[in-house]
Structure 1
Amino acid sequence: MTDRLAWKPLEIGPESSGVAGDAEGLLAELRRTDVAALLTERKALVFRGFGVTEETLGTVMDELLPNRAAYVHGNSPRTKVGRNVYTSTEYPAEFVISMHNELSYAHAWPERLLFFCAVQPGTGGATPVVDAALWLESLDAEVREAFAGGVRYTQNLHGGRGLGKSWQETFETDDPAEVERFLAGAEAEWQWRPGNALRVVQNRPATVRHPVTGAEVWFNQADQWHPAMLGADAAALARVMPADELPQSVSFADGGAIPPEYVTQIRDRGLEAAVDVDWRTGDLLLIDNLLVAHGRRPFTGDRRVLVAMSS
């Protein structure tokens, strides 16, 4: 426990590496480093001082993300800006984004995430990261036990007009047959509904074990999908319509309701245990998506952070 409380990402710069402070210097450092082993050991790596730009980002990504993947079945609002490169979640600047592991609600998730700061925020805007094993350990035994059977996620995706995201945005296709093939492979249940809408239901575990370290980590998005955590407007909406009719909702895997106080504890303890990565233009942050969860602090001014992921 003590070691995890002292954990923070490893910062790598040109001076410590003995290379030039540019993208070529970073590439030289990456090519002589066993990035996979270092990332498993340190969980998150910050590359700072290499002057990476959006123009030079591609070659760096090719080294750090050898199997770059699309954000298919993602539920947060983003804009695609390149080959499987996206803006980070486009929630309003004044809101905190709570801790989560990317696509932890899905059948398959990325092993690595890479964040790149193209424009640093005026103030705030850090990306908090938390050791996911510490997050699990921080929860009350009652909460851990309640989630032992897993969780059930329900999505209601409209066909072009409605609340939340459309299924076309979510799956990056207009072809229903392609969506069905994806969902069948994901072991999800689905139902086409009136108005070209789609309901998707998935049962997933609440914790997983890292394939290399064996560490058990908190790995679900129950707090982000719960109506109690979705803000005043969503909470008001939840009072006038069933939870499973909302754009997204969550329950225990057996269909039982998750108490609001459980998800409040999950959200708050994840944020309390997090370490902030403050952004400077040109910085990169690489994380192991199982070992580390991430979020976002509120900010002012312009902030442009791009994200890509790989299996």
Structure 2
Amino acid sequence: MYNLPISISSDMRLRFLQDDEKTVASTEKELPLVIEPVKEKSFAVLKALLKESAQWFNKQLDTYGAILFRGFEVEGAEQFQKALELLNIEVESVYHFGSAHRVRITEKVFTSSEAPPDVIIAPHNELNMVPVRPGVLAFFCQVQPDLYGETPIINTEKLFYDLSPSLQHKIGNFPQQFVRYVPNHLLEMVFEDLSPEEITKLLQEQGFDFNWEEDGSISFECSYIPLFSHPRTSRLCFGLSIVDCLVSREWYRNIGQRYSFKQRLYYNLLPAKLYKNIQQRATTTATVVDGSQKRTSTLNAYFLNKDGQSTNMTEAEAKELGQAEWKNAVIFQWKQGDILVIDNLQVAHSRLNTKLKRKILTAFGNMCNIRDMKPALLTTFSNI
């Protein structure tokens, strides 16, 4: 358990989230570290703090996993990007491998998601399905949600050690395999303006197995153990990207009061096998283009057993993981001008359903390669 660090400036106050700022009570009390102004709220004050003490702020990010700058007058994407640059974050201008549509706001700032308001985006570390991913991820609340629209965050080390020894053993010993299919008409969304030759080079550099189809669509896959040691703190990091609707079903169940009676029955009472079949059909529904059917982009995740065969999570494992995610999640209401900076290696994020208006922007940087990380120093399941 950490104590609050000593403030390095009389212009800012350090604290953790108060209970009345959270939508749901949480056992996690020290995520994120909140930094707020004492008197002067202008962006100029925040800019001066970041410029003078970027190294200190990044040390706190390593320690706590997430920092919430709350109460400062941050007005738009340009100031958001500037704040990240003052933290010495190498902000990326391209977003390759994304599985959701985003709108570019500036050269290096995007909308966080264009997913339908009722949909929950399951907990994950950004771009965890590929070897090269952001070390830092950030969000900016430009328009405070009318209702709901939270971005839950989870310390993945605490999540991992909250799982049963048998599930820890499975995650720690059997590689996860990520299999992606992108039809020709969605290549631009996933790879922006890259040519087929440039896509091929990108996949080769990151060690993917891939196959171009005759119609210009592409399939690619990679696998790795999703546990590793944090490069600066040596704490365990659990790369969270379990693509299983039975995991996210637990989230829908926990916020069931936000949905209609019919939807609550669907999430709570439908047999798991039938629920999974319906969800899988819904996510692979054909898209009609010029009278012909083309598959949508798909992402599937499996475990590779000791024989190298692809296996899925069991119903019990998916339920356990979903419940552990919910238990360890910090869920708070966005406020206008909030900047949330996340260590993407040790903290996962999600998105709950929302009622418009809501506009959350995102940016990321400090790219790193999972294959360069040291194995996690595990303290459990050694006797299994």
After TM superposition, the score normalised by the length of structure 2 is 0.72
* Pair 1:2–1:24, CA change in 2 (3 A): closer
* Rounded Cα–Cα distance in structure 2 between residues aligned with 1:48 and 1:110: 23
1:305 aligns to what? 360
2:346 aligns to what? 291
1:163 aligns to what? none
1:207-222, aligned counterparts within 5 Å?
207-222=227-242
* Pair 1:232–1:77, CA change in 2 (3 A): farther
Percent of aligned pairs sharing the same letter = 23
* Pair 1:125–1:211, CA change in 2 (3 A): same
2:222 aligns to what? 202
Which of 132, 136, 141 matches 1:112? 136
* Rounded Cα–Cα distance in structure 2 between residues aligned with 1:200 and 1:220: 20
Q: Would the aligned equivalents of 2:302 and 2:313 in 1 still touch at CA under 8 Å?
A: no
2:121 pairs with 1:97: yes
Which of 150, 153, 160 matches 2:178? 153
* Rounded Cα–Cα distance in structure 1 between residues aligned with 2:183 and 2:100: 15
Q: Would the aligned equivalents of 2:156 and 2:240 in 1 still touch at CA under 8 Å?
A: no
Larger CA Rg, structure 1 vs 2: 2
* Pair 1:251–1:49, CA change in 2 (3 A): same
* Rounded Cα–Cα distance in structure 2 between residues aligned with 1:153 and 1:124: 31
2:79 pairs with 1:24: no
* Pair 1:238–1:123, CA change in 2 (3 A): closer
Q: Would the aligned equivalents of 1:98 and 1:271 in 2 still touch at CA under 8 Å?
A: no
* Pair 1:35–1:236, CA change in 2 (3 A): same
* Rounded Cα–Cα distance in structure 2 between residues aligned with 1:287 and 1:79: 21
Which of 50, 53, 60 matches 2:83? 60
Amino acid at match of 1:155: R
* Rounded Cα–Cα distance in structure 2 between residues aligned with 1:97 and 1:290: 18
Q: Would the aligned equivalents of 1:156 and 1:198 in 2 still touch at CA under 8 Å?
A: yes
2:327 aligns to what? 272
Amino acid at match of 2:58: A
Q: Would the aligned equivalents of 1:133 and 1:215 in 2 still touch at CA under 8 Å?
A: yes
* Rounded Cα–Cα distance in structure 2 between residues aligned with 1:98 and 1:238: 14
* Rounded Cα–Cα distance in structure 2 between residues aligned with 1:73 and 1:65: 24
Q: Deviations over 1:175-222 (max 9, x none)?
A: 011001100111001000132110011112221211111111221312
Which of 298, 302, 305 matches 1:247? 298
| Structural RMSD (CA) | 2.6
1:35-46, aligned counterparts within 5 Å?
35-46=57-68
Amino acid at match of 1:235: Q
Q: Deviations over 1:199-256 (max 9, x none)?
A: 011112221211111111221312xx23656877542368999xxx971111113332
How big is the shift at 1:282? Answer: 0.8
* Pair 1:246–1:60, CA change in 2 (3 A): closer
Q: Which runs of 5+ in 1 are unaligned?
A: 161-165
* Pair 1:305–1:246, CA change in 2 (3 A): closer
Which of 258, 271, 281 matches 1:236? 281
* Rounded Cα–Cα distance in structure 2 between residues aligned with 1:131 and 1:58: 25
Which of 149, 158, 161 matches 1:134? 158
* Pair 1:21–1:2, CA change in 2 (3 A): closer
SS in 1 for 2:122: strand
Which of 59, 66, 70 matches 1:48? 70
- Structure 1, 230-239 or 137-146: larger mean CA deviation: 230-239
* Rounded Cα–Cα distance in structure 1 between residues aligned with 2:90 and 2:120: 30
* Rounded Cα–Cα distance in structure 1 between residues aligned with 2:100 and 2:33: 28
Number of corresponding residues: 299
SS in 1 for 2:127: coil
How big is the shift at 1:268? Answer: 2.8
Amino acid at match of 2:138: L
Q: Which runs of 5+ in 2 are unaligned?
A: 4-26, 249-275, 287-295, 367-384
Q: Would the aligned equivalents of 2:145 and 2:334 in 1 still touch at CA under 8 Å?
A: yes
After TM superposition, the score normalised by the length of structure 1 is 0.88
Amino acid at match of 2:227: T
1:171-210, aligned counterparts within 5 Å?
171-210=191-230
* Rounded Cα–Cα distance in structure 1 between residues aligned with 2:146 and 2:238: 32
SS in 2 for 1:269: helix
SS in 2 for 1:184: helix
* Rounded Cα–Cα distance in structure 2 between residues aligned with 1:168 and 1:7: 40
SS in 1 for 2:168: helix
2:278 pairs with 1:258: no
